[in-house]
Every structure is written in C-alpha cells, then in structure tokens.
Amino acid sequence: MTVEVWTTMFVILTFMVYLYIGWRARVKDSKGFFVADQGVPAIANGAATAADWMSAASFMGMAGLISSLGYDGSIYLMGWTGGYVLLALLLAPYLRKFGKYTVPDFVGDRYYSTVARLVAVVAAIFVSLTYVAGQMRGVGIVFSRFLQVDVNIGVVIGMVIVGFFAILGGMKGITWTQVAQYTVLIVAYLIPAVAIAWQLTGNPIPQLAFTFGDVVDKLNQVQIDLGFDAYTQPFASKSMLDVLFITIALMVGTAGLPHVIVRFYTVPNVRAARYSAGWALLFIALLYTSAPAIASFARYNLIGTLHNQPIAEVQQLDWVQKWQTTKLLTLEDKNGNGTIEWTPTEETSDVKISPDIIVLSTPEVAKLAPWVVALVAAGGLAAALSTASGLLLVISSSIAHDVYYKLLKPDASEGERVMVGRIMVGLAILIAGYFGINPPGFVAQVVAFAFGLAAASFFPVILLGIFDKRTNREGAIAGMVSGLLFTTVYILGVKFYGMSPWFFGVSAEGIGTLGMLINLVVTLVVSRLTPPPPPEIQALVENLRTPGDAPLALADIGEEQLD
C-alpha cells in the first residue's frame, strides 16, 4: 500500500479514537469543563501534560531546527526542557494547592486586583491564540502532504476534530484525548528513530547511537567539506550572549505558558501534582533525548541523498515531488551543471528546505516502510491537535471564568458558565482556523513574541506570588505592564520596523529575558515603596508553602480593597 493509503487509515483510526473519548468524557458542570473534576490520576495527567506541552513545534520543528542550526539549535532543547523543570519544581505544586481554575484566577486573587486579572487575561489570550493558529496551520501542512488535499481543507478537518472533544468534553475530554494522543505521537517518533539508528550505526537505541556512534563525526566532516561550519561548532550563527538570553527566555516563557500550568489544576491534590510532574518529565524525555539523534541522522541522510546527485533523478523521487508541491522544499539547478550543489550561501545553493519538514520527511529519505512514514504523519497531527485543544481551553476559561463569571456575572449558574465556555471555545476555533487558512505574514514571527510575552508577564508575578508575601498588587501590575511594554516595543521594532537589536545584539527571540528581569525588579521595588498586602493575603502565601493539601480559605476582601 502507498503512503497515502496508510496515512488515511491511521488518521481515520486515531481520529475515531479521539472522537469516541471526547463523547465518553462529555461534561455538564463547570468543574468538569475547566479542571476535569480535579480527578485525573497522576500518571494520566503526566501523559496529558506531555502531549499538551509537546506541540507540533516539538514534534516537527525542534529536531528540524537542531538539524539546520547544529549546536546553536540546542537552545530550543535546553530552553523548552528547562522551562518544564522550572514549572514542575517552582510553580506547579503551589498553584495546585492554591486551588483555582486558571492563571489569571491566581493572579487576580493573589494580588486582590481586577486590573491584574485583566492584564493576565489579555496575556493568556494573546499567547494562546498565537500558538493555536500555528498548530492549525501545521495540521493543514500534514494533510496537504500526506493526504494530497488542499491545505485549507486540512485546517478545517482539524478544526472540526478539536472542536468536537473540546466543546463537548472541556478539560475532561481534552485530558483523556491527550493521553491517547501522547501514545500516538511518542510511538510515531520513536519507531523511525530506532530504525534509522540501527540503519546508520547498528545500535537500535537512538540516544546511544548519537552519543557513541560516528555519524556526528562524519557529519562534521561532510559539512566542513561543503563549506558549512562543523555541525557541533558552537555559536556559529548566534553570539554566546544571544544563545544565553534565548535559552532563558524559552525557559521562563515555557514555565509561564498558561495551557501547561492549567494541567496541574486537574489532579486531586498537591501530592498528585508533584507525581504527575515527574511522570510528565519522563514522558517528555523520551522524545527530547531522541530529538538530537533524529536531527543529526536526518541531516546526514539529506546531504547524502541530495548533494552532488543528478537533479533530474532526484526530482523523480516520490517524496521530493510531493514535498515540492507544498513549496517547503525547492530544488533549482542554479549553475546549470545538472547536479545538486548544497552550499552555505542561499544565492548559490540548489537546495532550500524548511526545518518544519525534516522530521516528517526523514522516514522517506531513509527509505523506511510506507506505514512508518504514515505513522509519523499521524504523530505530527496528534502533537498539533493535543496542544491546540489545551490552548483553546485556556482562551475559553480566561473569558468564561475570569471575565464573565468573576467580573461580569458572579451569580452565573453552572449551566451558564459551561455554555459561555463552549461558545468561547467555538469562537476561538473559528479565529484560529481563519489564521490557519489565511496566515498573515507575521504569524511565524510572533512565535518569539509569544514566548517573550509569557516570560515578561506571568513568570515573575507567579514566582513572587508564591515565594514573596510582601509583593503587592501595585508591584504586580507595574511589573507586568513594564515588562510587557518593553518586550513588545523591542520585538515589534526589530521584527517589523527595522530597528537594530541595540541591547548588546540580543535578538528579538531572546529579549524576553530582559523583559522578565525588568518585570521582576519593578515588581519588587514598587511593592516595597507601597503598602503591603492585606494580612489575609500574606497568611495565604505563607500557607501555600506549608506542607499539606488543604489550602487556606481566602478571607472575604472588601470592595474598598479591590481596584
């Protein structure tokens, strides 16, 4: 059977499983819709967290970026993994003990401020919309390549599937669907990794094949022969300071991502939150320790398959033809000698390949069985859909819970809250689908904006909200606004208005680190210059760090204390 037939079979089978789970996990009350009744077992929540956290960017993009950038691409591996560790150790258990539904809920109650809540809502919605639009576009690309349908049709199919289990089951449906999606994506990632490791080194364990095999040494020499920097050459494309800042921005930005944080509200207690964090780290490590191996193997195979080969023969390859139709791979004989020359300079190189397709194309380049190629496509869809569903619920809960219920209609019934939540999911799907079908020129660029925004807004106020009882609402609001404004102006200036990276050459991708530091300093200074939080808030913060599951009941705060 062909790759397309296998892909169709896998997609239909996995989508039927997702739809069935969504139907079985349908909910009627707000607790089930927003936090899955807080009854998800630790190991299941670990798998769901891993699926939620490992988006299409992790499954398809990270190994592709490492493959393209070499050593410097490891910033994504270190930043995203380090961010999860920060989240698991510093934030997750305390946020679970606080007992709220969302990150803006924590910010609003901890800082006894409607303004702080609204700033957090705006940040959560912007970050989530940015990511979910990218996920939907990724779904369209996979469908376009492997099922030979129009990319827009692929986006619509993804919208329908995600909408079904997100609208019907809320967080409960999403959680159990993500458990299934994690199983699909990790199997799809590891099978080709094992097969190619065995094929190239005789060692079936990708991590060991990468560490002790000779593929990387050969790849270094091949790249040097072609005029590239050695694959393991550090700081070839970025300065050391920029690498440091980008890594930190990715770490603190990831630790502040609301769709990952909300997963720790779904477990029964603080102990389960800690255990689920450990399980998630194990599940994430299975993919993330394999990614450098996949990246180097893919680069080695691609160069061997394309460079110095007759262009007429290469263009007859089935996988080349189909990826060329997506315009993510182009081959052009620029000097007319009839062979493909892969050079470091874009003006002279006959090869132009998007990092986004490297993982998806690797099984075909390695001539693995068609069912393996199709499985990787199903894994990419699982990664994109799992993260999209989590992001959609963040958007829904930010509006339905933090704005509608907490600010506009505190006496709203359970049915009203769930209905508003479902309407918001549907609206968010339509917006994400629109940008998936009609991607504006800036969608790819604002990925850095999303991480910078999360780093400069959520991380400092959550961290200080847990560990510094003296931090007050004035400090939190001033810190978030100053960090957000600085980060926004710098990224917009560099990305869209031709401004040079004036802060020691730090790129827009890394400036979120400075925005985070500005937020941290401003929050601390303003908090010390203004009155301390009310005694009940300080007691609440003390209780958060006290071992045990029972949260301290938040005393009623008079209207005069709310801004």
Domains and CATH numbers, the chain: 3-298+369-445 (1.20.1730.10), 308-361 (no CATH)
Q: Strand, coil or helix: what is 353?
A: strand
pLDDT at 551: 53
Q: Which residues of the chain have pLDDT under 70?
A: 101, 165, 169, 439-449, 547-563
- What distance in Å separates the CA atoms of residue 326 and residue 353, rounded to the nearest whole number? 11
Distances (CA, A) of 267 to 33, 39, 100, 393, 417: 14, 5, 12, 17, 21
CB 82 within 8 Å of CB 441:
no
Instruction: Tell me how many degrees the CA angle 291-295-301 measures, rounded to the nearest 5.
Output: 140
Closest CA to 469 of 412, 544, 416: 544
**What's the farthest any 2 CA atoms get from each other in the chain?**
80
Residue 536: CB atoms within 10 A of its CB come to: 15
SS3 readout for 15-61: HHHHHHHHHHCCCCCHHHHHHHHHCCCHHHHHHHHHHHHCCHHHHHH
- 514 token code pair: 């400075």
pLDDT at 268: 85
Burial (0-12, 13-18, 19+ Cβ within 10 Å), 559: exposed
pLDDT at 442: 45
pLDDT at 560: 42
- 137 token code pair: 């576009």
Distances (CA, A) of 199 to 196, 296, 317, 366, 368: 5, 13, 20, 9, 10
- 191 token code pair: 């099978």
Residues 6+ apart with CB under 8 A from 387: 51, 52, 53, 54, 55, 56, 131, 132, 135, 259
Closest CA to 259 of 161, 398, 370, 155: 398
Rg (CA), the chain: 24
CB 391 within 8 Å of CB 435:
no
The gap from C-alpha 172 to its chain's centroid, in whole angstroms, comes to 20
Q: Strand, coil or helix: what is 351?
A: strand
- What distance in Å separates the CA atoms of residue 103 and residue 101, rounded to the nearest whole number? 7
Closest CA to 83 of 494, 374, 475, 516: 516
DSSP secondary structure of 543-557: HHTSSSSPPPPPPP-
- What distance in Å separates the CA atoms of residue 260 and residue 348, rounded to the nearest whole number? 43
The gap from C-alpha 158 to its chain's centroid, in whole angstroms, comes to 17
pLDDT at 443: 44
